[in-house]
Structure 1
């Protein structure tokens, strides 16, 4: 697995939870992964939630795995991504420890 998408809650959180997304991306990149981080996306022209999700789903489709950040169950976007991921054959890992990416336990797709 080389390319990983980061999924998690954004809406309603301070700074849209970008610090958590960016910290996870930094750790993944340090381990040699290519990372699709939706927190790095430019705003879509429409600026809507749907527009952001269209960008995110394209990113998701390019990956072999998904790293899921805490709080994902309260995010309709993350839940949508996690519904689609196994149907695309992606592996999923829950990220609970911001210190260690190397010890992730990947769930079967």
Structure 2
């Protein structure tokens, strides 16, 4: 059985705890949907933005699709990841406000 691999992309820099709660909630939802999740929010704190991108680009290149969190347009890194995903012809899925998958699965940010 083929399980899609999804990379989570979105804004991190300058946000509380690097927006890890949003990334982790999206990862939980994607796991519940049966996907293999590649979540950059699991990387350790303390690296430079360039170092994060050096790690994240190969992670993205292993994926079949990219799940783009709200606010991605405000993040240079997420914009670069989305552009690369488009070039690699990956499926692009946008969070777009209320995530209906989250509501359907009954998950919350505190889960």
Common fold by TM > 0.5 = yes
Distance in 1 (CA, whole Å) between partners of 2:44 and 2:16 is 18
Give the alignment of 1:28-107 within 5 angstroms.
28-43=30-45, 47-96=47-96, 97-100=98-101
Normalised by the length of structure 2, the TM-score is 0.83
Normalised by the length of structure 1, the TM-score is 0.85
Match of 1:107 in 2: none
- Shift of residue 42, structure 1, vs aligned partner: 3.0
Distance in 1 (CA, whole Å) between partners of 2:62 and 2:83 is 16
Matched residue pairs, number? 101
Q: Which runs of 4+ in 1 moved over 6 A?
A: none
Gaps of 5+ in 1: 104-109
Gaps of 5+ in 2: 105-111
